[in-house]
């Protein structure tokens, strides 16, 4: 872990930085994508803004910063699943230049603390099945697969995903 890394609940003052992290992680401005990158980033920013102003007690956006620079983020919310609502982690992202330094691990551990603060004992997340670095990290932190997405999604061009769960102690 980076000694100067701080993970904290994001505020509206972090919106531009968070949108940049998410846009670079999930929609990098490569090739023709660079032309729509500003629009995608604006859409991400607005989505985050709406979630933050809603002040849902079971929603948290975490920011990971080194000094004054936000380098990672993750969102935690309640998601309806087969047997009720469960804490769900989404949009775990770290700027490409900052990966492999323990930032995602710290965001996950912080998210687990948030979920425990809400009174829950488990955390769910999805991972793309062929994302081996992410799967290794989740396995190290004791996340286990509980479900695989339907083959139908593959036919539609969506890569297969695994639903993972961790029981928190």
Query: Which strand (E) or helix (H) includes residue 127?
Result: strand 122-128
What residues in the chain have per-residue pLDDT under 70? 1-2, 149-155
CATH fold, domain 5-167, is: Aminopeptidase (3.40.630)
Number of helical H runs and strand E runs in the chain: 5, 7
Cβ neighbours of residue 18 under 8 Å, at least 6 residues apart? 10, 44, 45, 48, 61, 63, 70, 73
> Is residue 15 classed as helix, strand or coil in its secondary structure?
helix
User: Distance (Å, rounded) from C-alpha 40 to C-alpha 27?
Assistant: 8
User: Distance (Å, rounded) from C-alpha 163 to C-alpha 7?
Assistant: 25
pLDDT for residue 158: 72
- Angle among Cα 31, 21, 27 to the nearest 5 degrees reads 30
Measured CA distances, 97 to 24, 71, 94, 129 (Å)? 10, 9, 8, 23
Instruction: For 107-121, write each residue's pLDDT tens digit.
Output: 999 999 999 999 999
pLDDT for residue 156: 72
pLDDT for residue 165: 96
pLDDT for residue 83: 80
pLDDT for residue 150: 63
User: Distance (Å, rounded) from C-alpha 71 to C-alpha 67?
Assistant: 10
Residue 46, both tokens: 């607005």
User: Distance (Å, rounded) from C-alpha 141 to C-alpha 109?
Assistant: 9
pLDDT for residue 153: 61
Compute the mean pLDDT over every residue in the chain, rounded to the nearest whole number. 92
pLDDT for residue 160: 85
pLDDT for residue 169: 82
């Amino acid at each position: 872990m980076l000694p100067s890394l701080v993970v904290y609940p994001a505020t509206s003052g972090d919106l531009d930085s968070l949108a940049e992290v998410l846009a670079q992680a999930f929609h990098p401005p490569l090739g023709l994508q660079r032309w729509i990158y500003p629009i995608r980033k604006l859409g991400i920013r607005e989505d985050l803004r709406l979630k933050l102003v809603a002040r849902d007690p079971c929603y948290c956006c975490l920011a990971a910063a080194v000094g004054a620079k936000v380098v990672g983020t993750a969102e935690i919310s309640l998601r309806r699943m087969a047997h009720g609502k469960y804490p769900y982690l989404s949009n775990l992202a770290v700027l490409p230049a900052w990966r492999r330094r323990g930032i995602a691990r710290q965001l996950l551990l912080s998210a687990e603390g948030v979920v425990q603060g809400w009174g829950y004992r488990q955390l769910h997340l999805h991972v793309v099945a062929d994302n081996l670095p992410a799967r290794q990290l989740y396995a190290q932190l004791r996340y286990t697969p509980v479900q695989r997405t339907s083959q139908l999604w593959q036919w539609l061009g969506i890569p297969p995903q695994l639903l993972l769960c961790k029981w928190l102690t």
